Structure 1
Amino acid sequence: MTNEPRPAGVTPPVAVVFASVVFIALSIAALGVVSLVLDADVIPVRGLGAVPGVVGQLVALASFAGQLFWGLRADPPSYLTAVPCAIAAYVGEVGGVVVGALVSGADPARGAAAAGSVALGFAGPVVAAVGLVAGLFGILLVRSRTSGPRWGWEDDDEGDRAA
């Protein structure tokens, strides 16, 4: 075995994957909890089904991940990169709800009403806040210069074991 130093921090593509998982998990959980606390629907427009919400989350996830990947190109990336990630998640959620409503066969007026309720209600700001937190998490992963955990025997040489 060689004693080559491990790379410091996490690579940007890996950080985007981890931050994306955090984003989607926190987004779904936060929307559910806030909906429960406020006793309100995430998308209050009746007759749309689940498709607009699912498509909205997928587009928000893709927008968030793309913006974070773009922002992590700097060395080191700025923590302010999380702000465009939050904006991208918000816009992706609102736009995705419109697309999801149209894909599900709803008329455009219902799709626009659903997008407006997401943009002006609690769902849009919740998704933006989660995008900010998950973006900060991804940036923190790249900026950290620590190595991963290692077992004690990983650093031993062959000669040290015989002694």
Structure 2
Amino acid sequence: MTTLPEALSAAHAEVKAEIARTDTKVALLIAFEGAVLAGTATAATALRVPLAARLIAALGIAALLAAVALLLMTARPNLGGARPCGFPRWATMTGAEIRDDLLIGDRAQHVRVLSRIAVTKYGRLRRAIDLTLVGGLLLVVAAALTAGGVS
């Protein structure tokens, strides 16, 4: 049978792992977005792109840039705002206050706050992926128009 402290420690570790997974996905997607944007810029300067394709590509690039902005907001550290817990709170305390705080055992509060952070990160990540898909589709349409010679 699991005790409450063990269950809280397991939940705490699980939420921290979810945050780490989200941060890894964010880093990979930012690199991917950068590569797509760089490739698009290279293709746009090397090819004669018809006006219709340029307009569609501009919408695709706007979607990708919006995705990058969301990804950067997702990677931005959350230091707890007005009611921090964990290390942001401990940074404002003396050693004795930290010891007292740790004796109280606010692991449930940490799990709650970290869970909210994880859910927010996953929501932003999901929206960034949706924008990436839209932007990519628009760039594919622009490429097809360019390849087809539409003016």
TM (norm. structure 1) is 0.34
Structure richer in helix, relative to its length:
2
RCO comparison, higher one (Cα < 8 Å, 6+): 2
TM (norm. structure 2) is 0.36
